[in-house]
Amino acid sequence: MNRLLMSSLASNTTKAYTVGLQAFDQFRLNQQLSILWPPPSNHILMFIAHLSIQGCKQTTARAYTSAIAFKCKVLGNGDPTKHFLVGLGQLPCWHSRAYQNKPYKPLGDGIHKPIGLTLDPVNVWILGSSIIKHATVAASQRIGGTNLSIPNANIWWQGYSGMKLLDLVPKLKYLKGLKLQSPPHIIVVHCGANNVGKTRLDRLLTMVHDILSQCKTLFPKTKFVWSSTLPRITWRYSTNTRAMNQTRTRVDRQAIKTMVSLGGAYIKHPKIKISHTQLFHSDGTHLSKLGNDLFLNNLQGAIEHIMGVKTK
């Protein structure tokens, strides 16, 4: 930003605005969002939700959004943050500090033992490849939104295009380094299909075991859930669809075996088959709207079961 304009601000304000703008742009990079100015309103809303999950004070969020407004004005644009600056504490993504600081109920030890309902939110992370990235968008457009209509659930979606198994531990370390108020109760992992055909099968099976074990070491009190990889009509590294899908199922078996041994759980998606072409996007890899709905229903049912939510 123009140094002359920044120098017109008090030094503390300048520092706060600089930090806020850096945080906003870093957030957009991490979420693989375009760095556009003026930023789209949904970028700002996602950023505010992110700050809420981090446990930032409302005053911090106000300072950061004020920084965004200031830069927009400097660039000659309108203020896209004005809708968020007023009544920030009433946004559905923002919980009061008193509410956030209540202790969470610990997870049960057994794989099928539900967490049990509490008055406090159950923190769930869903981490994975572009399947999760697209599912996030699909969830945001459904009734119940990104929390999947699950009572007391606070779901944080982290989907990254091209994500592979070796990306899993570094990504979890990064998310842990954000110093959220409490470690997640549940982490759902959907990853591994992008390794199929690129990594030798024997190496891949060893990687799955070792990487999931490292994840559990990072979050020893968290229940990990393996979301089985999805079949594909089109694979990047081979035209032999049958062989690739067979390799994928072997990876899933190893992941499920490891996850169960670590006290975790797993989700299968048996109704998503390559013979049901209407469930797939035209690229043969990602899911269609119908496919995403089915995938989200599976995630919702599994999370509800683990949490002990009674459905009608």
Whether 243 and 159 share a structural domain:
yes
Residue 44 in any domain: the answer is yes
Query: Coil, helix or strand for 157?
Result: strand
Cis preceding-peptide flag for 39 (omega within 30 of 0): no
113: in domain = no
**What is the extent of the structural domain holding 208?**
122-307
CATH of the domain at 247: 3.40.50.1110
Total count of domains within the chain:
2
Give the separation between CA 115 and CA 154, rounded to whole angstroms.
14
Lowest-confidence pick of 7-16, 213-222, 275-284: 7-16
Task: Assess whether 132 and 81 both reside in one domain.
Answer: no
pTM as predicted: 0.63
Please tell me whether residues 140 and 46 are part of one structural domain: no
Amino acid at 209: H
Tell me, yes or no, whether 90 and 172 share the same domain: no
Give the least confident one: 105-109, 142-146, 189-193.
105-109
* The predicted structure's pLDDT at residue 12: 65
Count CB neighbours of 2 within 10 A. 9
Q: State the maximum Cα–Cα separation within the chain, in Å, rounded to a whole number.
A: 65
2-38 confidence digits (pLDDT tens): 454 455 556 667 777 888 898 888 888 888 788 888 8
Final residue of a structural domain among 51, 82, 98: 98
Tokens of 76: 């000659």
Least confident of 78-82, 220-224, 269-273, 281-285: 78-82
Sheet holding 223-227, edge to edge: 153-159, 122-128, 186-190, 223-227, 265-267
Let me know whether 220 and 276 are in one domain: yes
Query: In this structure, are 190 and 240 located in the same domain?
Result: yes
173 φ/ψ sector (left φ>0, alpha ψ -120 to 50, else beta): alpha
Residues 39 and 182 placed together within one structural domain of the fold: no
82/213 same-domain check: no
pLDDT in tens, 153-188: 889 999 999 999 999 999 999 998 887 657 899 999
Same domain, 85 and 164: no
